[in-house]
């Protein structure tokens, strides 16, 4: 008799703190038989899983060796076919640079259903934690979320002109080490070098750090700050409202249900 196949849950872990998980995400983790999690998932979130849950760290951290996507896909499939409740836990929102489309399509092609559980993305966490909006009447009419680099680590080619509008807030992911090139592209396409910018490292976590600059001096400021954690770059007038000097307070722990 074939075991029952449960939908694979593709779950957004948010920016890190367990109390920023959705209730649906927390419940999925608490009922998991197998948890495939990204390298940046914090221990507080992992502790929500049952003691008997199989935990597999899949890597997926920029600049470091990580499990290949094909291996992750086949691992999810194999565990699901064994009748386990599989949770693929991703930082932020799985639909924002989380390869959720690839994983969902792979599972569907092999007859396994999948369910996506959204999470808070880094740009939203950064804005909330450091007190600035992503859109603002009279200053920012639109929000553009983009990756700064492509698969091989090279700078994104094309699309920079769409970020030149002074009323656009640009949120750039995976651009920490390419700040000079990013600024050159934006300025070259007409964005003012005086545009406020803020780089938020470890957004949403108690040890998050906000680094304020203008677009023109962003690379120099970041080089002096020497960030090592995951970072989102926010470029736009709204960045001038950031409360950079405010020390982020530790967030309350998520209470587990009895």
- For residues 28 and 117, what is the distance between their CA atoms, to the nearest angstrom? 9
Of 125, 100, 115, nearest in space to 31 by CA = 115
If phi over 0 gives left and psi between -120 and 50 gives alpha, with beta otherwise, what is residue 111?
left
- In three-state secondary structure terms, 204 is coil
For the beta carbon of residue 57, count every other beta carbon within 10 angstroms.
14
- In three-state secondary structure terms, 225 is helix
Angle between helices 100-109 and 69-81 (to 10 degrees): 50
Of 90, 127, 124, 136, nearest in space to 248 by CA = 127
User: Residues with Cβ < 8 Å from 175, sequence gap 6 or more?
Assistant: 147, 148, 149, 182, 231, 233
Question: Any catalytic annotation for residue 38?
Answer: yes
Given the residues 38, 90, 93, 231, the one annotated as active site:
38
Question: Any catalytic annotation for residue 255?
Answer: no
Question: Any catalytic annotation for residue 104?
Answer: no
Given the residues 33, 85, 90, 174, the one annotated as active site:
174
- 186 and 235 in contact (C-beta within 8 Å)? yes
Given the residues 60, 85, 90, 104, the one annotated as active site:
60
**Among all residues, which ones are annotated catalytic?**
38, 60, 174
């Amino acid at each position: 008799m074939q075991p029952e196949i449960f939908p694979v849950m593709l779950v957004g872990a948010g920016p890190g703190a367990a109390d920023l998980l959705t209730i649906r995400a927390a419940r999925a983790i608490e009922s998991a038989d197998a948890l495939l999690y990204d390298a940046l998932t914090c221990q507080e979130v992992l502790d929500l899983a049952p003691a008997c849950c199989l935990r597999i760290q899949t890597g997926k951290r920029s600049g470091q060796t990580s499990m290949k996507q094909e291996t992750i896909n086949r691992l999810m499939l194999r565990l699901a076919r064994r009748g386990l409740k599989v949770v693929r836990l991703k930082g932020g929102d799985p639909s924002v640079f989380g390869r959720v489309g690839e994983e969902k399509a792979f599972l569907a092609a092999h007859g396994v259903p999948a369910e996506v559980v959204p999470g808070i993305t880094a740009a939203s966490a950064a804005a909330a934690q450091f007190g600035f909006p992503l859109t603002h009447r009279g200053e920012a009419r639109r929000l553009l979320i983009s990756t700064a680099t492509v698969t091989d680590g090279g700078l994104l080619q094309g699309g920079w002109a769409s970020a030149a509008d002074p009323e656009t807030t640009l949120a750039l992911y995976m651009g920490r080490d390419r700040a000079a090139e990013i600024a050159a592209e934006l300025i070259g396409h007409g964005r003012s070098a005086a545009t406020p910018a803020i780089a938020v490292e470890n957004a949403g976590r108690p040890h998050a750090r906000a680094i304020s600059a203008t677009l023109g001096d962003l690379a120099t400021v970041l080089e002096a700050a020497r960030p090592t954690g995951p970072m989102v770059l926010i470029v736009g007038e709204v960045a001038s409202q950031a409360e950079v000097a405010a020390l982020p307070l530790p967030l309350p722990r998520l209470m587990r249900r009895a």
